[in-house]
Structure 1
Amino acid sequence: MKAETRGIIRLKCSVKNYDWGKIGKESSVARLYGKNSGVETHDDKPYAEFWVGTHDSGPSYAVAVGYKENWILRNGNGALKKENDDNHYNLVRLKDWIEQNPRVLGDKVWEKWGSNLPFLFKVLSVAKALSIQAHPDRDLAAVLHEQHPDVYKDGNHKPEMALALTEFGALCGFISLEELKDVVQNVPEIVEVVGGAHTARVLHIDEEDREVEAKEVLQSIFTELMSASKVTISQVISKMITRLNAKREVRDLTDKEKLVLVLEKQYPADVGVIAAFLFNYVKLNPGEALYIAANEPHAYIYGECVECMATSDNVVRAGLTPKYRDVQTLCSMLTFIQVMIKHNA
């Protein structure tokens, strides 16, 4: 099928109904998907992500005038159903349409990527926190995909950038050494889990070997924490919540402490609740953006954004999730670079 390649080609895109998405018409994703697809959205259903791209996990479809067979989107995840109703659009998978019209991408893109778009574009509507996660680099992605193709869907890396549409909160990257010293002195529950020897090292890092030693001790603390038993984590989180509620009576809680209380309500007894103390907590205003490289930990907390990334659906999770957790892979893949987030106007 050769289609006209001049002008604008209309797309029908996919939607994801993950449970962390905003509900019904409160979700920009729901409103966008409803207008894009013509499908009625549900007021009691979460609408989390709107996908534009060629990835098999959520492909887009070109509205192809003159296509011989008539198909409609049966649901937001890309399933097609053949119809004889002339009122329905003629759809062809975008990847297949590009295959038939390679010039639309230009020679250089076609030579490197073929009919796959080199990027995946999304809109996100976040009602509650996403998992603590990282995306693998190309080398690790290839290994993970070969070993566990049911979990890691492709062999590509996934650097990404999020541009805030509303106020947008996220955990991103590890806190600086100075902040880590404050945590081990003021969050006794972390010390209880990982042990005093690890936390004592934080307070006595040699200035000459500061960067290397700080990475080593941070990796030790994070790995011990994420590998602790569910019973241990449940007990220390209970203590922490009691302590913070008592503190709230005598002083204002920090933004991170307030966040931890929110996360505990969303994911009770989850190790990600206490691990949040180890990450930078950033708040973006509309129009501000956050770049996340491969092998860097992050978790979106609330708000709406547009997101652009390499074409991949690979996610290594370890906290704030009911889904599969790959703690060993996450703890071994992270860079453990410690930074204080820079704000660039």
Structure 2
Amino acid sequence: MDEKNKTNSTGLLKLKCSVQNYDWGRIGYDSRVARLFERNSGGQIDEKKHYAEFWMGTHVSGPSFVDGLALKSWVMQNPCLLGDVVLRKWATDLPFLLKVLSVGRSLSIQAHPDKELAEFLHETQPDIYKDPNHKPEMALALTEFEALCGFISSEELDVVLETVPEINVAVSKTSVGEVKGRDLRSIFTKLMSVDRDVISKALSKLVNRLTRENETRQLTSKEELVLKLEKQYPNDVGVLASLLLNLVKLEPGDGLYIGADEPHAYLNGECIECMATSDNVVRAGLTPKYMDVKTLCSMLTYKQGLPEILKGVPINQYVRRYTPPFEEFELDQCVVNQGGSVVFPALPGPSVFVVISGQGMMLTPTSEDGVSEGDALFAPAGTEVQVSSESEVRVYRAGVNNKVLLNP
């Protein structure tokens, strides 16, 4: 039988999923992650604890479970669940990791290594870099969502160097003209490598100046961000570095993808996130965690200009698809009105679904599951899935990029 038309008799597998309690997460029930985790696992929520990420996948740092058995073990014992295309390309593991993020304050300025660097970092520092995989990723906004992503244009960089003397003081005690004559790589590398005392003095001057000027003029979004970040991370070089990065504001339904070696930091809001199955992060600012400044500065592309914002492509009246330029994954946003129904055709690769709100039914040729907020389900390769709603239901699906599945 043609691989594309095979059906799978397993049906959907309901997942019990993991949560991550990072300090940047939202607190207690203010966090969508906490609410989803409570509904999914039945666990008790601590209203004083930060709930940052809800994970659905096979990564060892936050595995999902099927009837008490890790999903990774399940697919290793039943490799047919992944389909031939995935088995040939990624062996017996799910190539993507699906998450929900609730961001209360800025994440670190960071980048993710490409495959070659990830393998080297994992081999040389396995206690910090937990796996040998790369981590291209995409965020799909559930709420208004802010992020720093990529470096500002050459023109904007010139303006920053002219209007923010504190950066010039931190980078070097030279004239603005001499700093402007340097390339972005040297400016950023020097800034990130400056002694903390120098950064502290530069930030103090910058914050005092902006506080005074705020009394006589409207600060720009970037200037307001500097004041906000400095309160979250006092004396941190990342506050100054934020002025060299694009401030991106997403509306619900906007998608932002981030390739290897691109600097970024999520600032505020909630999103669906999908990535290759990895947790490799190289950090260099806005964090109390380990910072690998030398590696970060050497690995970046230093590409300048605004990132692409994905709006999604309508597949039908209920589904929009977001396809980044990565092989491991794509995302579908599915919003079914009360009484509506939509079919996700069988594909030669696996999918993971998460229900964000509402309730309804998810049906396959061999199974029928009532679903509601917090439910996460694994659909094996070759499984046709129908979603119908009792009240408006919002579901997200992560799967292998169709371009790979249908053109292996």
Same fold (TM over 0.5): yes
Residues 1:174 and 2:151 are matched in the alignment = yes
Query: Deviations along 1:209-228, whole A, 9 cap, x unmatched?
Result: xxxxxxx6101110111001
Q: Is residue 130 of structure 2 the alignment partner of residue 122 of structure 1?
A: no
Change in Cα spacing, 1:343 to 1:143, as seen in structure 2 (3 Å) is: closer
Deviates more, 1:97-106 or 1:155-164: 97-106
Aligned to 2:335: none
Shift of the alpha carbon at 1:114?
2.4
1:143 pairs with 2:120: yes
Q: Structure 1 residue runs of 4+, over 4 Å off?
A: 196-199, 201-204, 342-345
More strand by share: 2
Q: Distance in 2 between matches of 1:202 and 1:189?
A: 12
Please identify, of 113-122 and 185-194, the stretch whose mean Cα deviation from structure 2 is larger.
Answer: 113-122
> Residue 227 of structure 2 aligns with which residue?
261
Q: Residues 220-248 of structure 1: CA distance to partner in whole angstroms, max 9, x if unpaired? A: 11011100101111111011000000110
Counterpart contact for 1:17–1:46, Cα < 8 Å: yes
- State whether structure 2 residue 259 is matched by structure 1 residue 293: yes
Following the alignment from structure 1 to structure 2, what is the Cα–Cα distance between the partners of residues 186 and 302? 26
CA distance in 2, matches of 1:322, 1:14: 23
Q: Could you tell me which runs of 5 or more consecutive residues in structure 1 were left unpaired when the two chains were aligned.
A: 64-90, 205-215
User: In structure 1, what residue type is equivalent to 2:164?
Assistant: V
Q: Does 1:13 align with 2:17?
A: yes
1:65-214 to structure 2, matched below 5 A, reads 91-195=68-172, 199-200=176-177, 203=180
Q: Which residue of 2 aligns with 1:48?
A: 52
Match in the other structure for 2:236: 270
Distance 1:275 1:308 in 2: 26
Match among 59, 62, 82 for residue 58 of structure 1: 62
3-state SS of the aligned residue for 1:10?
A: strand
Q: How many residues align?
A: 304
Larger helix percent:
1
Report if the CA contact (8 A) 1:218-1:336 is conserved. Answer: yes
SS at match of 1:302: strand
Contact 1:5 1:104 in 2 (8 A): no
The residue type paired with residue 333 of structure 1 is M
Q: How far apart, in 2, do the equivalents of 1:200 and 1:218 lie? A: 14
3-state SS of 1:319 partner: coil
Q: Cα 1:321–1:278, aligned 2, differ >3 Å: closer, same or farther? A: same
Deviation of the 1:199 alpha carbon: 4.7
CA contact (8 A) 1:198 1:217 kept: no
C-alpha deviation, 1:111, in angstroms: 2.4
CA distance in 1, matches of 2:309, 2:17: 33
The Cα of 1:5 is off from its aligned counterpart by 5.3
Equivalent residues in 2 for 1:186-335 (5 A)? 186-195=163-172, 199-200=176-177, 203=180, 217-335=183-301
Output one character per residue of 1:254-290: Cα deviation in whole Å (capped at 9) or x when no partner: 0000001000010011000111000000010000010
Q: What secondary structure does 1:323 align onto?
A: coil
| Residue in 2 that maps onto 1:87 | none
TM-score by length of structure 1 reads 0.85
CA distances 1:134-189 after superposition (whole Å, capped 9, x unpaired) = 00000111111110000001111100000000000000000000000000000000
- CA distance in 2 between counterparts of 1:304 and 1:340 reads 21
Unaligned runs of 5+ in 2: 1-7, 312-408
Please tell me the residue identity of whatever aligns with 1:316.
V
Q: Look up the SS of the partner of 1:308 in the other structure.
A: strand
The residue identity in structure 1 corresponding to 2:122 is H
> Separation in 2 of the partners of 1:343 and 1:114?
32
Question: Root-mean-square deviation (CA), in Å?
Answer: 1.5
Q: Report the Cα offset of residue 197 of structure 1.
A: 5.3
SS in 1 for 2:47: coil
Contact (CA 8 Å) 2:254, 2:309: kept in 1 or not?
no
Tell me the CA shift for residue 116 of structure 1.
Answer: 1.2
Change (3 A) 1:203 1:270: closer
**Structure 1 residue 344: deviation in Å?**
5.4
What amino acid is aligned across from residue 306 of structure 2 in structure 1? M
Tell me, in whole angstroms, the C-alpha distance in 1 between the residues paired with 2:117 and 2:104: 31
CA contact (8 A) 2:255 2:309 kept: no
What SS is found at the alignment partner of 2:284? strand
Identity of aligned residues (%): 61
